[in-house]
Amino acid sequence: MTGPLEISPANLALTLFFVLAAQISSFIYKLNLGRDLTIGTLRTFVQLLLMGYVLKIVFQVQISWLTLAVYGLMITAAAQIIRGRVGEKSVPYLLPMYFSMLISYFLVGYMVTGVIISASPWWLPQYFLPLGGMIIGNSMNALALALERLFADLRDRRDLVEMKLSLGANYREASEDMVRRAIKAGMIPSINSLMGVGLVFIPGMMTGQIVAGADPVAAVRYQIVVMLMLVASTTISTLIVVLLTRRRCFGGAQQLILP
């Protein structure tokens, strides 16, 4: 099998017709998505091209602290994106969310590269950064969904929560159902992916290796590792972040302070 076919800059520019089709649809049906599509497309080009050059340098120098610093910056960017998507300003959840992401993502990343794949050293950037990026990307969506559900449920069911508190329940007991629903909301996309992988779609990791000329059977093994590591990272990060954020929705006297 040969290596991947090169995409010329001219052919890459042809992909803009896909965005143009979306822009036309947005204009015809008055979806008001033109600005978001334009900004998203520009960010895709700039961010991916920049990341490509950064990874090229990181792969060449093979320095542990540089690899981990890039991974930390990726997590920081993900935390900021989540905060922008959730849009909650009354609860200070950013700091606990960020440290929860750092701990859970580094733990899962180390287990995958250092133990399961047995890369030497475990922080080898060719393995650690691409796999770590998958962990961050999938868990980022899960955290945004979980936090949105938590805040929405606490607001929508405020009367129920305050009734339980007035009857002597603590904040954990009063918000138990909301926490369960939030964690479940964050985990459902990963579980759905497990159900459909290989049958409904060929995931990115497997597709990339096959396009690069790898043995499909070997690519399958990597993809299985990726799918299961995503479930683990999503579960751990969602659980920790939701529990820590839930506590910050209540005051010292265990009253609900979410406006």
> Looking at the structure, do residues 125 and 25 belong to the same domain, yes or no?
no
Residue 255 falls within a domain, yes or no?
Answer: no
Beta strand ranges found along 68-128 (DSSP E): none
> Looking at the structure, do residues 166 and 220 belong to the same domain, yes or no?
yes
Residue 4 falls within a domain, yes or no?
Answer: no
Q: 3-class SS at 189?
A: helix
Query: Across the chain, what does the average pLDDT equal?
Result: 90
> Looking at the structure, do residues 75 and 187 belong to the same domain, yes or no?
yes
Find where tokens 């936090």 sit.
147
Measured in degrees and rounded to the nearest 5, phi and psi for residue 94 equal -65, -50
Q: Per-residue confidence at 178, pLDDT binned at 50, 70, 90? A: very high
Which of 211, 195, 75 lies closest to 143, judged by CA? 75
> Looking at the structure, do residues 103 and 173 belong to the same domain, yes or no?
yes
Residue 160 has pLDDT above 90, yes or no: yes
> Looking at the structure, do residues 80 and 205 belong to the same domain, yes or no?
yes
- Residue 149's domain spans which residues? 64-248
> Looking at the structure, do residues 14 and 114 belong to the same domain, yes or no?
no
Q: Mind listing the pLDDT tens digit for each residue in 55-103? A: 999 999 999 999 999 999 999 999 999 998 898 888 889 988 998 899 8
Residue 259 falls within a domain, yes or no?
Answer: no
> Looking at the structure, do residues 70 and 180 belong to the same domain, yes or no?
yes
Distance of CA 162 to the CA centre of its chain: 33
DSSP state, 168?
Answer: T
> Looking at the structure, do residues 166 and 68 belong to the same domain, yes or no?
yes
b/e string for 162-176 if b means 16 or more Cβ within 10 A? eebbeeeeebeebbe
> Looking at the structure, do residues 69 and 53 belong to the same domain, yes or no?
no
The structure's pTM equals: 0.84
- In angstroms, the CA 152 to CA 154 distance is 6
Residue 1 has pLDDT above 60, yes or no: no
Q: Mind listing the pLDDT tens digit for each residue in 210-254? A: 887 888 888 889 889 989 998 999 999 999 999 999 999 998 888
Residue 166 falls within a domain, yes or no?
Answer: yes
> Looking at the structure, do residues 156 and 134 belong to the same domain, yes or no?
yes
Residue 253 falls within a domain, yes or no?
Answer: no
User: Based on the structure, what is the number of domains in the chain?
Assistant: 2
> Looking at the structure, do residues 48 and 128 belong to the same domain, yes or no?
no
Residues with Cβ within 8 Å of residue 149, at least 6 apart in sequence: 178, 181, 182, 185, 186
> Looking at the structure, do residues 208 and 184 belong to the same domain, yes or no?
yes
Residue 257 falls within a domain, yes or no?
Answer: no
On the question of a cis peptide bond just before residue 121, with omega within 30 degrees of 0, the verdict is: yes
